[in-house]
Amino acid sequence: MLAGNGSLVSEFVLAGLTDRPELQLPLFYVFLMVYIVTVVGNFGLVTLIGLNPHLHTPMYYFLFNLSFIDLCYSSVFSPKMLLNFVFEKNTISYVGCMTQLFLFLFFVISECYMLTSMAYDRYVAICNPLLYKVTMSPQVCSVISFASYGMGFAGASAHTGCMLRLTFCNSNVINHYLCDILPLLQLSCTSTYVNEIIVLIVVGINITVPSFTILISYVFILANILNIKSTQGKLKAFSTCSSHIMAISLFFGSAAFMYLKYSSGSMEQGKISSVFYTNIGPMLNPLIYSLRNKDVKLAIRKSLIKFQRKDRF
């Protein structure tokens, strides 16, 4: 059947994480638990921040958006990934694959810039505390978050638009558990030169700009912390950044590791390492920000007390 863009492929088959039958059921339960923890953790954090007025600050506004992105991001591919473990052949339509690719890239790039926004927020809070409320006003926070989503939309549109111009006419088996750029390019019957150029440009921008911004922000933060005379003051300043440092290390570290594996030519190692990037990161983010954050712990306790009081009456 001819697909809408002139391609001879109307559907793809997702090869999944592994083809070893004895691992299918155990992996299904493992990734089901990962997905449940991801959904509960991120939805819980979104709800908690939304319902507690004392968390309506710039820092938690960006955390709200980060949790929302992680919730949507994991839901783009996790259900299809889980089906791959229980069905012998897991198919996805051409349109469904391109939609998944777009949404996956949109949320990944948006998360990249949302983490960057959080670095800038920490810079202003530590280096210019007296101007913090003015600099990080609700209007400014809204503009920054919309810009993050805008960069995600632009990057996803560029990649997906270039993918739509390709023709897929031979094999339709994607050697992955989701529709990603590199596995799809391997299936193209036509030249992927333009796509590769776009990948270099878009990925280059989306790595350079956030990395440079985060690096500069933390250079100034570190310099400011070192100028604080009291040890307690240094520890307090550093503690406000520790969760964010862990989150960006997890996100950028796992992403770099995944693409290094892909660039080495090993698709099998690449898709296994991508689990840390696509599944583990969104699961750990709410745990990192809730277990290491006094405000979130306090909000959780207050919410539990409210629910207990309601149950009594």
Q: Which segments of 76-135 are extended strands (E)? A: 90-93
Q: Averaging pLDDT over each range in 15-24, 213-222, 252-261, which range is the top one?
A: 213-222
Q: Which helix (H) or strand (E) holds 247?
A: helix 231-263
Q: Give strand pairing partners of 14.
A: 90, 174
Is 125 within 8 Å of 132 (Cβ atoms)?
yes
Q: What is the mean pLDDT of residues 88-101?
A: 92
Burial, 257: exposed, middle or buried (Cβ in 10 Å; 0-12, 13-18, 19+)?
Answer: middle
Residue 222 and residue 143: Cα distance in Å, rounded? Answer: 27
Question: Looking at the predicted structure, is the pLDDT value of residue 4 above 70?
Answer: no
Burial, 99: exposed, middle or buried (Cβ in 10 Å; 0-12, 13-18, 19+)?
Answer: middle
Residue 95 and residue 225: Cα distance in Å, rounded? Answer: 51
- Computed over every residue of the chain, the mean pLDDT equals 87
CA angle 20, 23, 26 (to 5 degrees): 165
Selected residue with higher pLDDT from 242 and 306: 242
Band (pLDDT 50/70/90 cuts) for residue 266 is: low
Q: Which residues contact 205 (CB under 8 A, 6 or more apart)?
A: 155
Band (pLDDT 50/70/90 cuts) for residue 41 is: very high
Q: Averaging pLDDT over each range in 13-22, 88-97, 145-154, which range is the top one?
A: 145-154
Q: What is the mean pLDDT of residues 195-199?
A: 92
The residue to which tokens 């299918």 are assigned? 24
**Residues of the chain above pLDDT 90, percent:** 53
Is 293 within 8 Å of 45 (Cβ atoms)?
no
Band (pLDDT 50/70/90 cuts) for residue 293 is: confident
CB atoms within 10 A of CB 6: 12
DSSP state of 11: E
Q: Note the pLDDT of residue 7.
A: 47
Reading the block at residue 254, the tokens are 């796992």
Q: What is the mean pLDDT of residues 295-302?
A: 77
Question: Looking at the predicted structure, is the pLDDT value of residue 247 above 90?
Answer: no
Band (pLDDT 50/70/90 cuts) for residue 169 is: confident
Q: Looking at 162-166, 223-227, 261-265, which range is the least confident one? A: 261-265
Provide the residue count of the chain.
313
CB atoms within 10 A of CB 24: 17
Distance of CA 134 to the CA centre of its chain: 29
Q: Note the pLDDT of residue 86.
A: 87
